[in-house]
Amino acid sequence: MRMGLTGLCILFVLTSCGNMQYREPARETFLAMDTFMTFTVYGENAEEALAEAKEQVLGLEKLWSVTDTESEIYAVNHSEGRPVEISRATEELVAFALKMAAETDGALEPTIYPVLTAWGFTTGEYRIPSEEALAALLGRTGYEKAVLTEGGICLPEGMMLDLGAVGKGYAGDLLAELLAEEGVTSALLDIGGNIQAIGRKPDGTEWKVGLRAPYSDAVFGSLMVSDAAVVTSGAYERYFTGEDGKQYGHIIDPDTGYPVENGLLSVTVAAREGKLCDALSTALYVMGAEKAVNFWRERQDFDMILVTEDERVLLTEGIEERFSLDKAYQDWTKEVIKVGQRE
């Protein structure tokens, strides 16, 4: 089960302002996609909209679970090289994951599953695989070998997909769409630590999203957002301590097959689309600070906050005004990454 600390939490209080009193929101916490989700929905149709959103996310879990023997991804992963028919939602998610894998030069590697299994991250039976085993398993990865056709996918024998790095973000986008169709203009979805903010708070102010300090329950800073997603990746969300006393995290460097170890503790990405945030938070974590900064300078279609082992917080200039460092973390060094400057 994957229910460790999540990277983000929600810091908001329902306020009443002036004479305006707001209705209580509909709120529910439930287990889906191997994590806790809390949906908070405001407005007249809140209860019905929340129920539909929950139903949708449970439906997506049924399609994308790697362990549910009835899921589409399970069928793909046990297809032994044969083409498998998949639904529109799965096709779109896989297509997006493969596109992001190409755009991040394979830092996001949706076919990393065999390697992840060798480390025990899929079962909780953790172990350090031998170098030979990892080298052999890496031969069974490579996003460019997956063939997507209209309505179907074909993976070479021995290869497997894991959409764990993008599925929740993509679900956030679909949920935001669904809620908008239901007439909801204010809602906050905590999708296992991925935050999807719909509109603003009912009083018209922005949502305040707390960013969790790695390996801690405390919040190191917060970000004000509206109509946006905020997603964090970091080894601290799931890791084990090996017999050698070292900590091994759940995000794998696809070049080596070993858990990422590059001086970064967490990467938070904020952008309009949850799927982009989710794909990039994982990929930038794999890249490390220097490459992540270069990647941002080239694209600038997202904002990010990097936390390093040496207690630096690097944030892109677009969110400088929206981010604040908590009082207890004032000794951390805040550095703003600007488009123009070069290290």
* Contacts with Mg ion, residue ranges (CB under 5 A): 165, 278, 281-282
Measured from the CB atom, is 118 or 251 closer to ligand AMP?
251
Q: Which does 110 bind (CB under 5 to 8 A by kind): ligand AMP, Mg ion, none?
A: ligand AMP
Measured from the CB atom, is 52 or 273 closer to Mg ion?
273
Q: Which does 250 bind (CB under 5 to 8 A by kind): ligand AMP, Mg ion, none?
A: ligand AMP
Measured from the CB atom, is 49 or 195 closer to Mg ion?
195
86 closest CA partner among 120, 67, 62, 115? 62
Q: Which does 293 bind (CB under 5 to 8 A by kind): Mg ion, ligand AMP, none?
A: none
Q: Is 288 in the site for ligand AMP (CB under 6 A)?
A: no
172's CB contacts (< 8 A; 6+ apart) are: 189, 191, 194, 196, 229, 274, 275, 278
Token pair 């394979």 in the structure block, residue:
106
Pick one of 254, 257, 274, 288: the residue that binds ligand AMP (CB under 6 A).
Answer: 254
Instruction: Please list every residue from 232 through 251 that binds ligand AMP, using CB under 6 A.
Output: 233, 237, 250-251
Phi first, then psi: what are they for 304, rounded to 5°? -145, 155
Residues 341 and 343: their CA atoms lie apart, in Å, by: 7
Residues 121 and 172: their CA atoms lie apart, in Å, by: 24
Residues 261 and 247: their CA atoms lie apart, in Å, by: 10
Q: Is 137 in the site for ligand AMP (CB under 6 A)?
A: no
The strand pairing partners of 123, in sequence order, are none
Residues 285 and 282: their CA atoms lie apart, in Å, by: 5
x/- map, 206-235, ligand AMP, by CB under 6 A? ---------------------------x--
Least distance (Å) from ligand AMP to the CB of residue 122? 8
